[in-house]
Amino acid sequence: MVVLLATTALVTPLSCKLEPRVPELVYSPNSAEIEKNDDLAQDEAAQAQLEGLLQFLFGTPQAPSYLSLQGWGDDEFYPDDWGYDFVATDDDWWDRLVDSNRRAYARQIEAIKEGDFDAVTESYEAPGVWDAWLDALANKPDDPDAEFDEGGSWRDYAVSIFENYYPTLRDSAELYRTQCFHCHGAEGGGNGSTAEFLNPRPRDYRHGTFKWTALRDKSRPRHEDLFRILAEGIRTTAMPNFRRLTDAQIHGLVDYVRFLAVRGETERLLISDFNEDERLSTQMVEENYQLVIDRWHKAADLVITYDGEVPRATPERIEHGRYLFTTPGEEGGANCVACHGTTGLGDGPSVNDPDNSVDDWGNPIKPRNLQSGTFRFGRRPIDLFRRIYVGINGTPMPEHIGQQITDSDGTVRPLNEEDVWDMAFFVRSLSTEPMESAGTSGPDREHSDH
């Protein structure tokens, strides 16, 4: 391990020229969490043990990897290949990835086809693909078109390195260092050097809580939920989009965000479970690690779907949405008014309630001004439907489906999907942008799965 750190710390002149000046990363302990546990805070030996354990489970930023627990292989779960297909509902993702690689590496692929191997030079931040190419070049037979492996020629193989590139965690950690670190921090603690100037703050992944998903039960996100966030960014926040990266790079960053989240949550659980009697037993470590992994596995089954045509907004629906929105909970309404206010400006009475003015990460939060017409998750009806249905993880905004409401004729019943649509239409009617222009007015999320 020591040897590995020493060699990767040497920055070659080439990478110096191409990369922004970002330091080599180290994973630091979550000291804010440690301070909350007196037993651990006073026990430096145990803290050192915890640090060692985390490195054993997850490696370092220069060599990140998951430790495989016994039995995972039997279930065909190999966490270092925990890529897209584990959770994917989208069959075409690989074809799109290959297309994107072909565009990104068109110059290199062309040069290989033409036999001009000197012209194959680095263009994108993708250390894995570059290393594989240099390796292939070193093993090039005299005739590049002679059979090389499994019936293909060396030339085919060389092209496939570029076409089929999918980053390792190591590649993605490197990309994270230059693209995400200054906001999200080395451990994904949301505490990079620019973080304190931002509102909302960059996400701390270590809670495992992500806001902009469309899943029930406060679930961890699916791979495709995070992919969309990276591809599109989050409107009206500092979180940029990364459309200039290749599909493969974005997939890899998703894998790395999940890796940091699993690592960080395992650390949090171990810190909170530590006590003088039990200390850090192997059993405690394995159970918590497994628990965190299981939480991510469940996500695929929890997406909110609507079976049927998306309904049209009618004046009656908007009026019913207004009734639910503006009627307080005590009077049988959906109680949006408590936070968002009668006209949706975000000035309801609970703004002053201490429980409703901080998020799960301890940062101040305000209900959104719904007249502004900018919705971070997207402004299509299906986006608002899902948002209102399930609430927003990590924030005071609660789940609404199933909540008890009272109709104007006095019937008490659970809030249903039609009610959610009506409120979505009402919310849309509050913003000044006309609904019809919504499709072209901004980067709406393109949910394929509704």
Nearer Cβ to ligand HEC (33/225):
225
- By rule CB under 6 A, what count of residues binds ligand HEC? 52
Q: Compute CA distances 145 → 35, 46, 67, 165, 242, whole Å.
A: 63, 59, 40, 21, 37
What lies within 8 Å, CB to CB, of 71 at 6+ separation is none
| Binding-site member from 87, 339, 382, 438 for ligand HEC (CB under 6 A) | 339
Looking at residues 248 to 287 of the shown chain, list those that interact with ligand HEC (rule: CB under 6 A): 253, 257
Q: Is 169 in the site for ligand HEC (CB under 6 A)?
A: no
Quote the least distance from Cβ 221 to ligand HEC, whole Å: 6
In whole angstroms, how close is the CB of 375 to ligand HEC at the nearest point?
4
Residue identified by tokens 């000046």 is 21
Binds ligand HEC by CB under 6 A, chosen from 126, 173, 262, 334: 334
How distant, in Å, are the alpha carbons of 181, 184, 187, 201 from that of 194? 9, 9, 15, 9
Task: Name residue 142's amino acid.
Answer: D
Is 213 or 288 the residue whose CB approaches ligand HEC more closely? 213
Q: Count Cβ atoms below 10 Å from residue 447 Cβ, excluding itself.
A: 17
Query: Whole-angstrom Cα distance, residue 133 to residue 157?
Result: 10
Nearest approach, Cβ of residue 314 and ligand HEC (Å): 18
Residues 6+ apart with CB under 8 A from 28: 186, 187
Q: Which of 46, 129, 260, 336 is the binder for ligand HEC (CB under 6 A)?
A: 336
Distances 416 to 370, 381, 423 between C-alpha atoms, Å: 22, 16, 11
In this structure, what token pair is assigned to residue 157?
């193989």
Cα gap 393→218, rounded to integer Å: 6
**Min. distance of Cβ 287 from ligand HEC in angstroms?**
26
Of 258, 271, 262, which is closest to residue 289 (Cα–Cα)? 262
Report 199-238 residues binding ligand HEC (CB under 6 A). Answer: 200-203, 210-213, 226, 229-230, 234, 237-238
Nearer to ligand HEC, 83 or 157 (CB): 83
For the segment 396-435, give every residue that binds ligand HEC (CB under 6 A).
Answer: 396-398, 400, 423, 427
Q: Which of residues 348-377 bind ligand HEC (CB under 6 A)?
A: 350, 356, 365, 367-368, 370, 375-377
CA distances from 27 to 52, 58, 281 (A): 11, 10, 22
For residue 293, state whether it binds ligand HEC (rule: CB under 6 A): no
Interface with ligand HEC, residue 395, by CB under 6 A: yes
Interface residues toward ligand HEC, by CB under 6 A: 179-180, 183-184, 194, 198, 200-203, 210-213, 226, 229-230, 234, 237-240, 242, 253, 257, 325, 334-336, 338-340, 350, 356, 365, 367-368, 370, 375-377, 384, 387-388, 392, 395-398, 400, 423, 427
